[in-house]
Amino acid sequence: MVVLGTAGRLADNANVYAEPNRAAPIVRNVGDGYLFATVRSWFDNEAGETWYEINYGEYVHVDDINMVSPSDFQGVALNSQPQRPFGWVVVRDVVPSREPDGEPDESLGQLIRYDFIEVYDIALGEEDWLWYDIGDGRWIKQTNFSLVDVDTRPPDVAEDEFWVEVDLFEQTFAAYEGDQMVYATLISSGLNRWPTREGLFQVEQRYEEYKMSGAEGRVDYYFLEDIPYIMYFDMFNGIALHGTYWHDRFGYKHSHGCVNMTILDAEWAFKWSDEAPNDLWVWVHTSDPMTHLEQFE
């Protein structure tokens, strides 16, 4: 059963009808692209066909929409400053090793996607990949993992101001009040074709819910309805932090340039930053994971 207020991806060149049957007038054709609509209701018509109502009074046939389920992943709120790096498994079915570059050892159990892990030691393995000691004699390669660590406040940010760090290498997000980290999670930034611009920005516009679209007439055309918890920080490029209902690829680049967050994480960031003494600072950069080695020498 479809939950009201959920969304679905529209098929390319799907027709939208004025009534829930194919004999009704066609309101529009959606065209070809990455297109999502909010579903208001669903039902079977007299002919036994399933139809979905979108945008109040517009209908699409069940064959022309694929329902999506938002991710239920959420990051962590922090009551004290982290004492060691931490993060999440971002691939499925990871079997740890007993040493760096070691073979997977089934006796150590299995880690699954989004498992939370703390790092107790780091070693440099073959081909310059880092290996993380996650406790209990278990080591995992960095390619399985997205790491968060406390970072230094950017010089332009005052010691009492709110700011967030978006790490493009790790695909992570960390929120700070001054020098204190208060929240951390996974994100999805822009794909290499549409990279998220690095720099220090401030949130300029905020919307609790709004649509996004772009690249009309091109192969990367997209139209997304009812995106929640939007915070635009790079207005020149139309880039924002926002909630994301259409994928569950957090920890990997996956966007058209924006910083995708789960809806739960975006809601937290939106409400937290609304109480900030400043327009929220957003520091976007690419970290160097090799700097973590210095902590464990």
* Segment 89-126, tens digit of pLDDT: 999 889 999 999 999 999 999 999 999 999 999 999 99
Q: Is the pTM of this model over 0.85?
A: yes
Is residue 216 a contact partner of residue 234, using CB atoms and an 8 Å limit? no
Buried b (16+ CB within 10 A) or exposed e, 38-64: bbbebeeeeeeeebbbbeeebbbbeeb
- Rounded alpha-carbon distances, angstroms, from residue 167 to 184, 202, 285: 11, 16, 5
Please give the backbone phi and psi of residue 135, each rounded to the nearest 5 degrees, phi first. Answer: 95, 160
- Rounded alpha-carbon distances, angstroms, from residue 229 to 44, 115, 262: 33, 25, 10
- Rounded alpha-carbon distances, angstroms, from residue 140 to 10, 18, 225, 237, 290: 39, 55, 39, 37, 16
Is residue 85 a contact partner of residue 296, using CB atoms and an 8 Å limit? no
At 3 the pLDDT is 42
The position carrying tokens 């950017």 is 154
Whether residue 217 is predicted with pLDDT greater than 80 in this model: the reply is no
**Residue 112 burial (CB < 10 Å; 0-12/13-18/19+)?**
exposed
Torsion of CA 135, 140, 141, 147, to 10 degrees: -50
Torsion of CA 182, 296, 87, 251, to 10 degrees: 110
pLDDT tens digits for range 34-78:
999 999 888 899 899 999 999 888 999 999 999 999 999 999 999
Q: N- to C-terminal Cα distance for the chain? A: 55
pLDDT tens digits for range 136-194:
999 999 999 999 999 999 999 999 999 999 999 999 999 999 999 999 999 999 999 99
At 140 the pLDDT is 97
